[in-house]
Structure 1
Amino acid sequence: MSILVYIEHAEGKVKKTSLEAVSFANKLAAQTGEGDVIAVALGTVDSAELASVGKAGAAKVLHADDSRLTDGVIQAHASAVAQAFTGIGTKTLVLAKSSLGDAVAARLAIKLNAGLVSNVVELPNTSNGYVVKRSIYTGKAFAETTITTDNKILAIKKNAVDLKTDGGDAIVEKLSVNLSDSDFASKIITTERATGEILLPEADIVVSGGRGLKGPENWGMIEDLAKTLGAATGCSKPVSDIGWRPHHEHVGQTGVKV
């Protein structure tokens, strides 16, 4: 029995957080003996890029190459992944915790009658049941949650998993899914993406500043230091609120968690 991983992509590239989810699934498969890791990708993305997911530990990528799925319409993605899940006969779905992943996972938990645990930071303890360790209170504590359902969904916390990079290319296969008009009842009009050389969720180092810099005209020193260190730039909530810096650089409990 395989483990299914729902992967996300943007601008033609599979997201690092999704590769972390694949790496997690690869380790989970080795621990539980559940077989290969199969990823599912939705929307328009190059086959060579999908094949590279094998380096993180996937044996196969199922690709539903439907342009309507590229924008990430939640209902449609949930329907497509549910069909992939039942189609391969798996019991475990792994994905990255993200704005899209959270919404898709919640719907899949209902569709698949699955127990869902989010913010997962470690492989589950299966010595006595199925106990999953997750981060709570914005990273200040941990909780252990037991999943008792046959079907299980694990949403992996960003940067909580070491990325596997020594695998080979994955086999890419076409995935046919049946989607109704109701799956596309919502329409994404526009998307604003965080920009920058290194994004906060994927950064190993962050250089952050606050109102002590006196004004946006002084932010050059933060940007220069971040560039020198190969880091992302961050800011405090007041700085983003008054418009000195964009909101996607706001770090903290009410902003981006790192």
Structure 2
Amino acid sequence: MAILVLAEHDNNSLKLDTAKVVACGQAIGGDIDVLVVGHNCGDAVSSAQQLNGVRKVLVADAAVYANGLAENIGDLLTELAADYEHILAAASSHGKDVLPRVAALLDVSQLSEVIEVISADTFVRPVYAGSALATVQSLDDKKVMTVRSSAFDAVASDGSAQLLTLGQEIAPLVEFQSQSLTESERPELGSAGIIVSGGRAMGNSENFGILEQLADKLGGALGASRAAVDAGFVPNDLQVGQTGKIVAPDLYIAVGISGAIQHLAGMKDSKVIVAINKDPEAPIFQVADYGLEADLFEAVPELLAQL
């Protein structure tokens, strides 16, 4: 049995999610290959070769793949699928963009957000925003799966996988035009060990400045609830929740967040949860390890003064 993992990277560095998806592949069992698709992505390839348990790293390095367009990558994955029983990717925006196309082209059903492996064809995934877990069995010849990386521990980087450069280059199905990126020196939200998130109670975008200071003091990332994003306080790439990023940091600080189920689905697996809210009935306190019933505009500046 052979498993193909689609690497997550930015053409420079390999994302931690890839090492976690490889761990899911190890739980399935079989030979694991990692596919690195990009352009001038040598550093990401080297990191992929070091992942423990990886047999081969397949490299498709060409200008057509430079911007990670799902249509082009999906076409390549479909060509490679004949040699694999399982095709895995992280349940990130990239994985969610690419793998449904692959599943459709292969005429199989996709398994989404897998959090546990029971056997090679049976898996556990959350449903109803994480309120229940479903055990599902796939009878398809090809299992196309997105993996919730927060549910798996990353494999070590002490391997030495074989390198195989792919010769085929597809004709582009779509062409890249432009993109607008949010630049930040803070850790990436999906892989940060500490996250400070704010909710609608922050009031406006200017008030998020105190949370930025707290995140910087702690060396963490900044997050937000859907309500704060919908209100325009922060950009949507900071959203934590069922329709945003699924995170599981060592420390999650929820400031002015009520704890709607949409938000809890994205952060309840955090190792330690700290909630600051002046409403004693806020649902966030039910999942918090530590709760502070206080006005955030008094509590956060006081916390900053102590750091």
Q: Normalized against structure 1, the TM-score is what?
A: 0.84
Match for 2:143 among 147, 152, 164?
152
| The 10-residue stretch of structure 1 (65-74 or 136-145) with the greater mean CA deviation from structure 2 | 136-145
Whole-Å separation in 1 of the counterparts to 2:194 and 2:127: 22
Paired letter, 1:223 = E
The one-letter code of the counterpart of 2:34 is A
- When residues 202 and 13 of structure 1 are mapped into structure 2, their CA distance, relative to the original with a 3 A threshold, is same
2:158 counterpart of 1:167: yes
Other-structure match for 1:203: 192
- Structure 1 residue runs of 5 or longer lacking an equivalent are none
Matched ranges for 1:19-168 at <5 A: 19-29=19-29, 34=30, 36-57=31-52, 58-86=54-82, 89-126=83-120, 130-168=121-159
- Cα distance between partner residues in 2 of 1:178 and 1:11: 17
Q: Is the CA contact 1:208–1:222 (under 8 Å) kept in the aligned structure 2?
A: yes
Taking only the aligned residue pairs, the percentage that are identical comes to 28
* Counterpart contact for 1:138–1:257, Cα < 8 Å: no
**Equivalent pairs, count:** 245
C-alpha separation in 2, matches of 1:146 and 1:69: 33
1:107-148 Cα offsets, whole Å, 9 max, x none, are 22233344421100012335xxx2110122232321111100
Letter of the 1:69 counterpart: Y
Q: What does residue 247 of structure 1 align with?
A: 236
CA contact (8 A) 2:223 2:240 kept: yes
Letter in structure 2 aligned against 1:118: S
Q: Secondary structure at the match of 1:153?
A: strand
8 Å Cα contact 1:13-1:45 kept in structure 2:
no
The higher-RCO structure (CA 8 Å, 6+ apart) is 1
**Compared CA separation, residues 193 and 19, structure 1 to 2 (3 A):** farther
| Partner SS for 1:14 | coil
TM-score (norm 2): 0.71
Change (3 A) 1:100 1:252: closer
Letter of the 1:52 counterpart: S
Structure 1 runs of 4+ off > 6 angstroms? none
Partners of 2:226 and 2:163 lie apart in 1 by: 43
Structure 2, gaps ≥5 residues long: 248-307
